[in-house]
Amino acid sequence: MASQINPRVLQRILSLDDFQRQAHRILPGAVYEYVAGGTEDRRTLKENRAVFDEYLLVTRVMRDVSKRSIATALFGEQWAAPFGICPMGLSALAAYRGDIALARAAKAFHIPMIVSGTSTIRMEDVIAVNPDAWFQAYLPGDLERTTALLQRIKTAGYRNLVLTFDTFVGASRENQVRAGFTTPLRPSLSLAWDGLSHPRWLARVFLRTLLRSGMPHFENSFATRGAPIISANAIRDHAPKDHMDWERFSMIRASWTGKLIVKGLLHPEDCRIARDRGADGLIVSNHGGRQLDGSPSAVRMLPAIIAALEQSGPRVPVMVDGGFRRGTDVVKALALGADFVFVGRPFNFANVVAGEPGVAHAARLLGAEVSRALGMMGYNTIAELAHARADGVMIDAGAAGVDARIPRD
């Protein structure tokens, strides 16, 4: 697809939000709502952005920051930046073989990319183009299928396994249903018109996928191929697993020899339990505002989580996702104690607009913003951000009596 991308398209993209505005015009409404939307009244979706207004960055001057670097160590690997790409289900429905483009761009920029368990691209195909990719699994309800899935992930060659724990009770999808998106997809006249009225997506993504690969299936939910996205079995296969408890995690920990990361934690006590039961890392997350509406942002919970972990035992890497759109957002999370940040929707939208070159461009934009913010704050390395609050470089706007609220569209 790279040869079909007009370079002038990317010249007009100056921020991650620019990608979303372009993608909104390209995608059918149903697909756009699936990617961009939140659950119920979208309170948590809004909270994920609003929290960043509550912290301000204070510049320091006349410091030599000419040698600054945003390279960041995580799990023994030196990554090019302190951010990576979130797992995003059905990303190949928004951009042609979207997971492959995301994986290739991540490899080229040298940042981690997490393959989703609800991808329609086989996990084996993704790791073939990016051997450093991580895999994110939604655990099947029964132990037999869990064991088989873990064996498939090991055989494929994944070293880092992410278990997502905040979806065992299914969320409301009313906003997606209103937009015409359901799982399974139900063909209708309105859905057909939605596709026909967006010819670029129809030709470059949907029809191209049908012609080259046939109807997409959920490829990575189990050891064997899952149901087609239009099959009623998709509901059965992704039904709630509300009987799960920490014993299931301990069983997986006992059998998985690679790094094991738990995603979807918000409560400090859950973070402590996960660490004490053997988690190598934690991703603090509210699932991008797609699960419990009215829950706090992951960034808001960071200070309490970091404090709970440091007061009760050894520190493990704490990562965070949800609402990141600017380099200053990344810097604020790192200054609050996060070790790493994951970004989702913006990379998906970049993929929609310009495929792999678009994802690479998004990574460069975000990296440049992080580097600028680091320099303006008077720091040379990401590690130094841990001292930002003590140095008075990042302040809590509310505690300082500053109205940091920014009017939003």
Instruction: Fill in the amino acid letter for 246.
Output: W
Counting the structural domains of the chain, the total is 1
Structural domain includes residue 406: no
Q: What is the mean pLDDT of the chain?
A: 93
**Lowest-confidence pick of 43-52, 197-206, 219-228:** 219-228
Residue 184 preceded by cis peptide, ω within 30: yes
Q: Per residue in 57-71, pLDDT tens?
A: 999 999 999 999 999
Q: Torsion angle, CA of 367/369/76/85, rounded to 10 degrees? A: -60
Pick from 243, 262, 37, 43: nearest CA to 136: 262
**Lowest-confidence pick of 9-18, 224-233, 240-249:** 224-233
Residue 406 in tokens: 């920014």
Is residue 11 annotated as involved in ligand binding?
no
Structural domain includes residue 4: no
Residue 54 in tokens: 């509550």
Write out the catalytic residue numbers: 287
Q: Is residue 379 a contact partner of residue 372, using CB atoms and an 8 Å limit?
A: no
Pick from 323, 346, 318: nearest CA to 334: 318
Q: In the predicted model, what is the mean pLDDT of residues 24-45?
A: 97
SS3 265: strand
Q: Is residue 54 a contact partner of residue 396, using CB atoms and an 8 Å limit?
A: yes
Structural domain includes residue 402: no
Q: Is residue 336 a contact partner of residue 306, using CB atoms and an 8 Å limit?
A: yes
Pick from 153, 109, 151, 161: nearest CA to 130: 109
Is residue 405 annotated as involved in ligand binding?
no
pLDDT at 14: 97
pLDDT-derived band at 184 (thresholds 50, 70, 90) equals confident
Strand segments (E) across 188-257: none
Domain, as residue range, for 236: 10-396
Residue percentage of the chain with pLDDT more than 90 = 85
Question: How many helices and strands in the chain, by DSSP H and E?
Answer: 18, 12
Q: In the predicted model, what is the mean pLDDT of residues 44-66?
A: 97
What span, in angstroms and rounded, lies between the C-alpha atoms of 266 and 122? 30
Given a cut of 70, whether residue 234 has pLDDT beyond it is no
**Lowest-confidence pick of 1-5, 84-88, 227-231, 279-283:** 1-5
Which residue(s) pair with 300 in the sheet? none
Is residue 340 annotated as involved in ligand binding?
no
SS3 165: coil
pLDDT at 66: 97
CB burial of 92-126 (b: ≥16 within 10 Å; e: otherwise) equals: bbbbbbbbbbbbbbbbebebbbbbbbbbbbbbebb
Residue 247 in tokens: 């014993």
Q: In the predicted model, what is the mean pLDDT of residues 115-134?
A: 97
What span, in angstroms and rounded, lies between the C-alpha atoms of 260 and 262? 7
What span, in angstroms and rounded, lies between the C-alpha atoms of 99 and 34? 16
SS3 293: coil
Of residues 159 and 6, more confidence is placed in 159
Q: Is residue 5 a contact partner of residue 358, using CB atoms and an 8 Å limit?
A: yes
Residue percentage of the chain with pLDDT more than 70 = 93
Structural domain includes residue 5: no
Q: Torsion angle, CA of 306/312/316/317, rounded to 10 degrees? A: 0
Structural domain includes residue 320: yes
Given a cut of 90, whether residue 260 has pLDDT beyond it is yes
pLDDT at 239: 56
pLDDT-derived band at 31 (thresholds 50, 70, 90) equals very high
Is residue 88 annotated as involved in ligand binding?
yes
Q: Torsion angle, CA of 93/96/99/105, rounded to 10 degrees? A: -140
What span, in angstroms and rounded, lies between the C-alpha atoms of 243 and 141? 8
Given a cut of 90, whether residue 296 has pLDDT beyond it is yes
Structural domain includes residue 409: no
Q: Is residue 246 a contact partner of residue 149, using CB atoms and an 8 Å limit?
A: no
Lookup result for tokens 């859950």: 270
Structural domain includes residue 408: no
The CATH number of whichever domain residue 388 belongs to comes to 3.20.20.70
pLDDT at 398: 75
Residue 380: CB atoms within 10 A of its CB come to 15
Of residues 234 and 119, more confidence is placed in 119
Is residue 315 annotated as involved in ligand binding?
no
Is residue 89 annotated as involved in ligand binding?
yes
Structural domain includes residue 235: yes
pLDDT at 237: 56
